[in-house]
Homo-oligomer: A and B are copies of this chain.
C-alpha cells in the first residue's frame, strides 16, 4: 500500500496542501504516518538544512523572510519550519509575525509553518526530523529551521541542520554574554543584524574578538565568519546565502554532513525500534500475556521473559538452575 499512498505521491510532487497535511499528521503522530515518512526517506537527502537561532528581538523572522525572497530569486524552493518547543501542537498555525512573510503568500515554491516539539523525548525532536524529511522529499532546496522562543530548541536545530546561523543585534548589552555562553560555539555563521544601528561596529568587533578568543577561527578549515545584515532592507542577505553555500560545500568535503546524517539516522532507527517493541509488549498480545502470567506465577522472571519476547535464547540450563535454592 505504501508505494501507492496518494498523500505520499502528492508530497513528492511538492503540493503545499499535502505537505501541510503530512506535517500535521507528524505532530499528531497519526496512524500510518511512520510508513509515509519511511516512504519519503530515500528522496530526502537533498535539501540544505539551515538553522537560524538567536535571542528574542534579534530579527530572526525578518531575516528568514529576506533569505526566502533571495533564495527564490535564485530559483530555489524554500521550506521554513518555525520550531516552537513551548507548544505541544501547533495546529499548523502560522505565527502572528508571519504576516510580514506575505511576500511569499501564494508562491508554491515556498512553504512556511510552525512545528510544535513540546513533549518530544530527548533533545532532538522527532517531529522536526520528520518534517525535514517531508520538505526535502517535496523538493525544497533550502530548508530553514527557525527557533521560536528559548530553551532546548537551539540544540535541536544544531543536531538537525547542516549550517547554523546565530543572529545578534548591536546594543544587546548583556545579551551578548548570553550568546557568548550558549550560542557562540554552535554557530557556523554569525549574523549581526540591524547593522545600521548605533554600536554596530563595536558589536562586530566584540563578536570577532569572542570568536578569536574561543578558538573558533581557522580550526577545522572553516573560519566562522561574522556577516552584517539589515534584514528589513535586504542588505547583506545575498552574501549570507553565498556563505551558506560555501559552508555546505565545506561540510560535504569534511564529511561532517554525513556524520550528522548518520547520527540523526541512528536516533531515528532507535525511535522506530522502541515504538515497535512497545507495540509487541502491549497487554492483550498473547505472547506478552503468557510471559506476564509466567512471571507472576514465579515460573520465570522479567529478564528471561523479555529475552524470549525479543527472540533471544538464554542458556536454559542456567535459567533453570537460577531459580533453585
Which residues of A does B touch, CB under 8 Å?
Answer: 1-3, 12, 34-35, 37-39, 41-45, 258, 261-262, 265-266, 268-274, 276-278, 281, 283, 288, 291-293, 295-296, 298-307, 309-312, 318, 321-325
Contact = CB atoms under 8 A, between A and B. Distances in A.
Q: Among the interface residues A38, A309, A312, which one has the most CB atoms of the partner chain B within 10 A?
A: A38
Given A45-B298, A292-B265, A281 B276 contact: no
B273 A310 contact: yes
B306 A269 contact: yes
Nearest to A278: B270
Contacts of A318: 1-3
Given A3-B321, A3-B322, A3-B324, A302 B262 contact: no
A212 B306 CA distance: 44
Q: How many copies does the complex hold?
A: 2
Contact of A302 (B3, B272, B323): B272
A305 B269 contact: yes
Nearest to A303: B38
Nearest to A2: B322
A201 B144 CA distance: 68
Given A43-B298, A269-B309, A272-B303, 10 more contacts: A3-B324, A38-B322, A41-B303, A42-B322, A42-B323, A265-B305, A269-B302, A270-B281, A273-B309, A276-B307
B296 A258 contact: yes
Contacts of A324: 3
Given A45-B298, A303-B272, A288 B312 contact: no
A252 to B, nearest CB: 13
Given A274-B277, A301-B38, A265 B295 contact: yes
Contact of A303 (B35, B45, B283): B35
Contact of A288 (B39, B269, B303, B311): B269
Nearest to A1: B318
